[in-house]
Structure 1
Amino acid sequence: MKNGEAAYVQFLQDVMITIHENIRELKERKGFAETDELTYIEAKLITYHEVLAMLRMSADEFGINRREIGL
């Protein structure tokens, strides 16, 4: 892997870690959230999952190993 490619992989892995951490945090918050906050949490969870789906689809289209970038 070229130096630039390694930087891209590291960048994508960092983004994936952050997204997965945010999803985990939101799922935990959901357990003790008030009713009015639940809609907000659900919307954010849906958005994060949509972003992950887009990244998976793009990775497949470009022949990028999902595991390598944290998908």
Structure 2
Amino acid sequence: MTYDLKGLKCPLPVLKTRKRMAALPLGTRVVVETTDPMAVIDIPHFCQESGNKLISTETVESGHRFCIEKA
């Protein structure tokens, strides 16, 4: 499942990711795409804080892509 949050500014990407992840069953993987430069700090911090697993972080042409597994 890909969650396109491109164009949103801090703190919206992490807030929307938190809300989406809360509704998912354990083990679900979500790919979050964002153009917000603060997401490289906010998304890993959210994962650490919430216990979700950050599988990967990529810098892509349009911004950043994160793969998160619901824990």
Query: Is the shorter-chain TM-score for this pair beyond 0.5, marking a shared fold?
Result: no
For normalisation by structure 1, the TM-score amounts to 0.31
Q: Write 1 or 2 for the structure with the bigger share of strand.
A: 2
Larger radius of gyration: 1
The higher-RCO structure (CA 8 Å, 6+ apart) is 1
Structure number with the higher helix fraction is 1
